[in-house]
Amino acid sequence: MDRNRVLQPPLVDSTSCICRVDAGLKTVAGAKRYVPGTKLCLQPNIKASIHPAREKPLRDKNRTPVPLIPGLPDDLAIACLIRVPRMEHRKLRLVCKRWYRLLAGNFFYTLRKNSGISEEWIYIMKRDREGKMSWHAFDPIYQLFQPLPPVPKEYSEAIGFGSAVLGGCHLYIFGGKDPVKGSMRRVIYYSARTNKWHRAPDMLRRRHFFGSCVINNCLYVAGGENEGVHRSLRSAEVYDPNKNRWSFISDMTTAMVPFIGIVYNGKWFLKGLGSHRQVLSEVYQPETDSWSPVFDGMVTRWRNPSTSLDGRLYCLDCKDGCKLRVYDEASDSWSKHIDSKAHIGNSKALEAAALLPLNGKLCIIRNNMSISLVDVAKCDGSNNAPAEHLWETLAGKGQFKTMVTNLLSNLAGRNRLKSHIVHCQVLLA
């Protein structure tokens, strides 16, 4: 061997070289002008890894995915899965990732809706004795309450926040007043498809005790209060879920803290208290983005709770929700009554907290979680069925206990509301 022979480093490809070079040189290719040769490695000390590198298996693009149900093509498997009752969907999501992705997507629930299989559930937000927020989902088919993920902590003690449903399956809660931080702009929503809470863009203004509604799947909020110099607000804004952003609309004619609101004939009616505690009523028209005062017979005897169903307005005519009134547009008055003839009392626990459309009927929810249905479609001129036959009790659990507790509270002089319902909504999935 020629001892005078100059040893050269082995030739390597600079693109595959994993050696370390001078800190100022980012790559071996960048060090070529300092190293003789075009593909020379500097041969630094390289410590072998204790664990051998594992090569990631290459995904075969032509490989057939695992079927949703073994032995069935996916289209037939989906046709079977969409017919599973909604009460079991929570279990279906736990089977595998493919089933979870299927149930979390729009395709699955669009098929259920188009096939007439989708189910409406009632979601009830209730403030307990300690002032904490809890909520429950009621399945009207099996007449059972279902478990839900807890309400996010920022709303566990908040007051004066709004709630609305967009897209049929997303329950939004927004605004409100935190006992420590004050008025909020925060917006979150619960998806009935994923059974999880998600974050949405904040509102443009901090507000609590405001009015809200949904028109053409857009969320509108108006009025309310904040902790600023001007407590009562005139401002209003709208959230478009397709654009995922809020934008201001025209201000109300006067500042108002609404206590009742409804959408009727494509218009938003609000009734509340002005800055001098006077009762005010306004109507908003989305087509012209304009507000105007309203003084007709509809708002004169209009009371909460109320709702619209099939183009008609309904409101409760007694505290326990066992008597309904209907608005007659021709005479501009609330005249017609639908009486169950089975009144259960005027206590706070039995007081009706919400009136909602559910499966083509009117649903009445009381503070003691009892639920009644009224088939108002049968109460017309062509049907002479007795009004009391139109009423049906869905959930009556706890009624007797609540009545006994209320009686003892009256005797003890402690008749105050221990817990009450804050919001009720119906979600479709």
What are the boundaries of each domain within the chain? 74-114, 124-428
Q: Which residues pair with 269 in a beta bridge?
A: 262, 283
What pLDDT sits at residue 40?
A: 43
155 in Cβ contact with 53 (< 8 Å): no
124 in Cβ contact with 364 (< 8 Å): no
Q: Which residues pair with 393 in a beta bridge?
A: 372
* Residue 289 structure tokens: 């983005």
What pLDDT sits at residue 51?
A: 46
Between CA 254 and CA 274 the distance in angstroms is 7
340 in Cβ contact with 388 (< 8 Å): yes
Residues in the chain: 429
Between CA 268 and CA 257 the distance in angstroms is 15
38 in Cβ contact with 28 (< 8 Å): no
288 in Cβ contact with 266 (< 8 Å): no
What pLDDT sits at residue 301?
A: 84
Query: What is the widest separation between alpha-carbon atoms in the chain?
Result: 119
Give the residue among 429, 425, 422, 355 at the shortest CA–CA distance from 161: 422
Give the residue among 112, 157, 100 at the shortest CA–CA distance from 132: 157
Q: What is the pLDDT along the chain (429 residues), one digit of tens a residue?
A: 455 554 444 444 444 444 444 444 444 444 445 444 444 444 444 344 444 555 555 555 666 778 999 999 999 999 999 999 999 999 999 999 999 999 988 899 999 999 999 999 999 999 988 888 999 999 999 999 988 999 999 999 999 999 999 999 999 999 999 998 899 999 999 999 889 999 999 999 999 999 999 999 999 999 999 976 568 899 999 999 999 999 999 999 999 999 999 999 999 999 999 988 899 999 999 999 999 999 888 888 888 899 999 999 999 989 999 999 999 988 999 988 888 888 888 788 899 999 999 999 999 999 999 999 999 988 765 555 677 778 888 876 444 344 444 434 433 344 444 789 999 999 999
246 in Cβ contact with 204 (< 8 Å): yes
The residue whose two tokens read 């593909």 is 39
* Residue 386 structure tokens: 């007795």
What pLDDT sits at residue 58?
A: 56
296 in Cβ contact with 329 (< 8 Å): no
The angle that helices 106-114 and 97-104 make with each other, rounded to 10 degrees, is 60
Q: What is the CATH number of domain 124-428?
A: 2.120.10.80
